[in-house]
Every structure is written in structure tokens, then in C-alpha cells.
A and B are shown apart, each in its own frame.
Chain A
Amino acid sequence: MKKLFGMAAATLLSFAVTAAEISLDGAGASFPAPVYRVWSYNYGESTGNRVEVNYQSSGSGAGINQIKEKTIDFGGSDNPLTKEELDKANLCQFPMLAGGVVVIVNLRGVKPNTLKLDQATLADIFLGKIKGWDDPRIKALNPGVKLPRVRITVVRRSDSSGTSFIFTNYLSKISKEWADRVGCGPAVNWPVGIGGQKNPGVCNNVARINGAIGYTEYTYAVEAKLSMVSLKNKAGKFVEPKPETFRASGAHADWKNAPGFYMLLTDQPGDDSWPITGLTYILVQRNQPDAKKAAALLNYFNWCYTTGASAASKLHYVPLPEEVVSLVRNAWDAEIRSGNASVKY
């Protein structure tokens, strides 16, 4: 937290002291916001504060709305737009990072990171059908763990969110009842539970309530030191949430046949695949009126894919493999235009 404040203060200060030549404004998904903040800072420094990147983590929906209305230079979103939506709004979409959504619990007396759940129990907890932690079905999955007789409190997002989209997308895939009764979206009609504001709000509420279960982006769970649950994946194996298992679930993705890079990485095959993996996307206008700004924008994203990758790994996100990045570069050449030419960066 202190680091964040320091960084925010530094950003403000640099803004006040040196007027950057080019400033790139972005807004959207809060899922990747921790990396984007570090990137903005590092990239600004690497250009001698000539280029300044701002990112507001206002949520995926806000990012999509604002880039459509052209009030920002790039939008961040965790729920990808389809090819038709992109064509309609004349936007170019590309994936930036992969990351995991993890299930977090707060159970006094249970060793952190030991709990295991499978598809049916996870869905039934969030459907409100399993009400106590000492439920026989949870016990059966966790022999050797002494489960307390505590009521389950579900914690979920109160605001509309890409993280919720990824999570409900997974629940819809593994539970027919969830798909029929609740469905999938950035905000849904949650059968049970209390709402927290954004990822930190959910973490906070889980940390305050004994018996709470919630979901959040992996980095937030690590920073809040919350106990994470191992889940049974499509291959029937229990996997722990960590960058390796997030990466494994991206291994089977067929990027070449994904128009607009539309891809959902939930419930992927593979023994090591973490079942609730998500991608976070960047949206930019295809027609860039200002060539200089467009060049700076693509230069920045190219920097994120290359130099920025290590910073992303450090924050437990999964940078995209080189073959995907080269597909993205091809898409830039093909789609993004300033004047009538593609943009050189």
C-alpha cells in the first residue's frame, strides 16, 4: 500500500514538475491495474518522462464505454468484445496479459492454502445450496482437514467487473443450474452473498468475516495474504493457483482462429491448467488522427510486451508468449491507421 501511495505521489509530482510531450490516457479493467501502474511509471522513466501514461482502474465496462466515446487513448477490458462489436465501434482489440482468478477463504483454524473444492461444491456454495463449512461434501474432498462448524458467507463484487465476468463464465461452464439460473456477465443476480467494492473490497470483506469465501484476481489475494483454494480442473486434477498453472491453461488456445483475439481461457483442458484463467485486453481506435500519438501508443504497448514482461511476472501475471505477440503486431499493421498509412512505432 505504501509503495502504491509513493508511486502515486511520484506520478503526481512528475506531472507537476515536467510537462510531458505526449500523454497517453487509458482507463478500464482493475484486474491488471497493478501491472499497468508499474508499467506507466517505468515506461515514463525510460523515455525521460517525455511520454506519460496514465491508467485509471475504473472497471472494464467503463474502459469500453470511454474508448467508444474516444475520451481516452486506450481502454482496458477483461471481457473481450466480439468481432462484430469491434467492427461496429471501429476498435482494435488485443490481449495484454493472462492472469488467474482465485477462490479465497477465511477459515479460522484451518491451515492456509490447504482447502480443496471441486466443480460441484464450488458452484453449490455460490448458489447458496451448501451453507456450512462442515458440509459432508466439502469434508469428503478434504480428508484430514478439520473443518469448523461455521456458516459460509459468500463475498462477491458489488460493482460490475471483468473479474466477475471470468468467474461467472467459469461457473456457467461447470454448472448447468448456474448457467440457467444466474448466467454469465460482469454483473449478475447473485443468489447469495454480500458485495465488496472492486478486488480490494472483496479481499477486505473476506479477511474480516470468519467463514467467508470469495474470488479475486491472484495478485490481490497474494498481497492481502489470503488463503487460496485448490480447484479440480477439467482433467480431474486438483491444481493450486499460481502463475505456472495459469500459463498452462493458455497452452491450448488456438489464437490463429480467434477473430479480434476473442478468447476465453476458463475450464481449459490439460493436467496442470488452472480452471479460472482470464485474459485482459487493450482496446484502441483503429483510426488514429494523431500519428505521433499513435506511434507513441504502439511503442508503449510493444515495450510492455518486451521490456515490461519481467515486471508483469514479478506481480504474478502471465506475459503472453512470443507467437501471440507477433500475431498482435500483425493485427496492428493491418488494422490501425493514421491518415491512410499503418503506424510506425
Chain B
Amino acid sequence: MNDSGKTLLNPACTDRLFRIAAAGSALLAPLLLAALLVQLGIGSAPAWREFGPGFLIGTEWDPVRNVYGALPAIVGTLLTTALALLFAIPPAFVTALRLVDAPPGIGEILSQALDLLAAIPSVIYGMWGLFVLVPIMQDHVQPFLSDTLGLGKIPFFGEYGNGFGFLTASLILALMILPYISAVMRNVFRMTPAVLRESAFGIGCTRWETAKDIVMRYGIRGLLGGIFIGLGRALGETMAVLFVIGNVVALPEDLYASGTTIAATLANNFAEADGILRAVLFALGLILLLLALGVQVLAHYYLALTGAGRGER
């Protein structure tokens, strides 16, 4: 025991070991990201050589003649994501507000339920969408929207639906990201100092006024954070979308039209792809990764801009 100074258990030694291990692990993340980008870049090179930048705006997808364009998948990804956010943010916001205000017992149960919802695997949402939501959309929702409400006359809204398509996919996505967004928002709202809220109530503000002017204003940065997390998940979601979007490589004609997303295209084709198609799929993967990175960068930029770097989420 007297020579413990030379063993690995020496505090100086363990400290150094720990530092090396920690630094190594921390380095792993950027290295992996770089490796991914390089791999996707190399894998997609034949596609860029073949189609050039025109690949980004090409709309054709013909595996027989080997002509591919990325635009339908990109537009489909952006459209489903945007619609999903549109559907998810208002209820997520209201849910989070309510959770913060709810009596402790109920609030705890509701919070747990919300976290559980966020943990459901996406394929379950997809199956539910296919077996439950699609028939409901075909038989009830779509006829109601287009005929009863007469929205079918508006261009891009769609007159005839078969249950599949962008609207259904966006609804599923919205349902999936809602718990994420809501959970983040709830945590942000909880950080509002109690004294602020109590003073608001004290000067006679209503609940809504307190929520709008105190809680929301205090937590606006976190709100954005939550939305960006939902956005990130919606961008890359694969299985749930694949089940219900219809898998058609074409630009959307209307809301009921079937389409595809980048992730769904990858899942549909990757197993059997070789030659130029594999390169095309790598290129789509690269585009998706860059989109996701872009969202991250935007989020960080925004958070930095508003000075929200204090560990709030």
C-alpha cells in the first residue's frame, strides 16, 4: 500500500485518465458527424456528377431509365414538416400552459402521460395511422372538409382523397411531435419565477393574461427551442410517414395528394439500390442531414441572439 503513488489509483493518474476518456468521448461526436458527411459525400458523388445541381430541382423519378430528381422528396419533407408544426404548436402550447398551472397531483399524472407519449416508437404511430386514421380520413374527415365545408373548391386544398397523403401524414407527424414540444415548453414555463406569476395574479391579471404576458414572455426562448426539437424530429421521421403518405414521387397537387419524403424514399429504396440509384439515395441522405444541420444552426443562432445560453431548455 505504501507505493500506491505509482499505481493507476493514484488521484493524479485517475484524473488524467478521466480527462483523456472524457475528451475522447466528447471528440467522438464531431468526428462522427464529419465522418458521416464525408461518407455521404463520397457515396453521393456519382449522383452529383451525373445530374449536377439540377438534381435538386429535378422532378422525375424513373428507375428504368435511371433518371432521378430530388425536388418531390425535398418539397414533401418540408411540406409535411411545416404542416405538422402548424397542427402541433397550438395544442402543445396550451397543454404546456395547463400543465404548469394544474394542481400538483393531476399535473404530475398528466406530465407523466405526456412523457410516455413521447416515448412511443414511431412505427406504432404509423400502424395506428394506417389502420385507424386512414379510414377515418377517407370516410369522414376528407368528405367533411371538401364537401360539407366546401373547402374543396379552394385550389390546393383537394377535392377527392383516398385517406392517404400529405394531410394524413402531417397529422400523424403532428401527433408525434406534440409531446416533445409540449414537454420542452412545460419545462421552460416552470422556470418562470413563482414570484412573478404571483405578483401578476396579485394585481388582478386573469390566467390568460398571466400566461400571455408573464409566462410566455419569460419563456419565449424555450418555446422556440421546443419547436426546433419538434421540427428536427418531423424532418427525419420515417416509418410513420411511410405508412400513410402514399409513396408517390411527385410534387404535391393538393393536400390530399400522395407524395413522399426524403426519409420515406430512403427506406423504400435502400435495400435494393445499387449503381446510380444508391448514389442518388446517398445524395438525398446528404440533403436531409444538411437540412437538419441547418435547423440546428438556426436554432442555436436564434438562442444565442436572444441570450438564452443559460442552460434553459
Contacts and interface: CB of A to CB of B under 8 A. Distances in A.
Interface in A174-192: 182-190
Contacts of B138: 208-210
A42 interface: no
Nearest to A204: B130
B164 A160 contact: no
Main secondary structure of the interface of A (DSSP, over half): loop
A158 B247 contact: yes
B258 A194 contact: yes
A208 B163 contact: yes
Interface in B112-168: 130, 134-135, 138, 160, 162-164
Interface residues of B, number: 26
A128 to B, nearest CB: 12
Given A61-B274, A194-B164, A204-B130, A189 B269 contact: no
A297 to B, nearest CB: 23
Contacts of A188: 62-64
Contacts of B273: 61, 160
Nearest to B278: A65
B192 interface: no
A195 B61 CA distance: 14
Interface in B226-272: 242-243, 246-248, 258, 268-269, 271-272
B65 interface: yes
A191 to B, nearest CB: 10
Interface in A55-77: 58-62, 65
B269 A160 contact: yes
A25 to B, nearest CB: 16
Contacts of A60: 272
A193 B248 contact: yes
Interface string B26-69: 00000000000000000000000000000000001111110000
A159 interface: yes
Contacts of A189: 60-65
Contacts of B258: 194-195
Interface in A194-208: 194-197, 204-205, 208
A225 interface: no
Contacts of A211: 162
A158 B268 contact: yes
A209 to B, nearest CB: 5
B134 A186 contact: no
Given A61-B271, A208-B138, A160 B246 contact: no
Given A60-B272, A65-B272, A195-B247, A187 B162 contact: no
A151 B61 CA distance: 25
Nearest to A201: B243
Contacts of B248: 190, 193-195
A188 B249 CA distance: 11
Interface in B49-104: 60-65
A194 B60 CA distance: 16
A153 interface: yes
Given A195-B247, A209-B162, A182 B64 contact: yes
Contacts of B60: 189
A197 B268 contact: yes
B69 to A, nearest CB: 11
A196 B247 contact: yes
Contacts of B162: 153, 194, 209, 211-212
Contacts of B164: 194, 205, 209
Residue among B60, B130, B135, B271 with most chain A CB within 10 A: B271
Residue among B61, B268, B273 with most chain A CB within 10 A: B268
A62 B164 CA distance: 28
B201 to A, nearest CB: 51
Nearest to A189: B62
Interface string A13-43: 0000000000000000000000000000000
Given A61-B271, A159-B268, A208-B130, A195 B246 contact: yes
A159 B260 CA distance: 12
A186 B163 CA distance: 26
A158 B134 CA distance: 18
A185 B246 contact: no
Contacts of A195: 246-248, 258, 268
Nearest to A158: B247
Residue among B138, B163, B272 with most chain A CB within 10 A: B272
B284 to A, nearest CB: 15
A194 B247 contact: yes
Contact of A194 (B130, B246, B269): B246
Nearest to B67: A189
A37 to B, nearest CB: 18
A185 B63 contact: yes
Interface of A: 58-62, 65, 151, 153, 158-161, 182-190, 193-197, 204-205, 208-212
Given A158-B242, A194-B248, A197-B243, 14 more contacts: A61-B271, A65-B272, A160-B269, A186-B272, A188-B62, A193-B248, A194-B164, A194-B247, A196-B247, A197-B242, A208-B130, A208-B163, A211-B162, A212-B162
22 contacts: A58-B271, A61-B272, A61-B273, A151-B160, A158-B242, A160-B269, A183-B65, A185-B64, A188-B62, A189-B61, A189-B63, A190-B248, A194-B258, A197-B268, A204-B130, A205-B164, A208-B130, A208-B134, A208-B135, A208-B138, A209-B164, A212-B162
Of all A-B residue pairs in the complex, the 8 with the closest CB atoms, nearest first, are: A61-B272, A195-B247, A158-B247, A194-B246, A189-B62, A160-B272, A183-B64, A187-B63
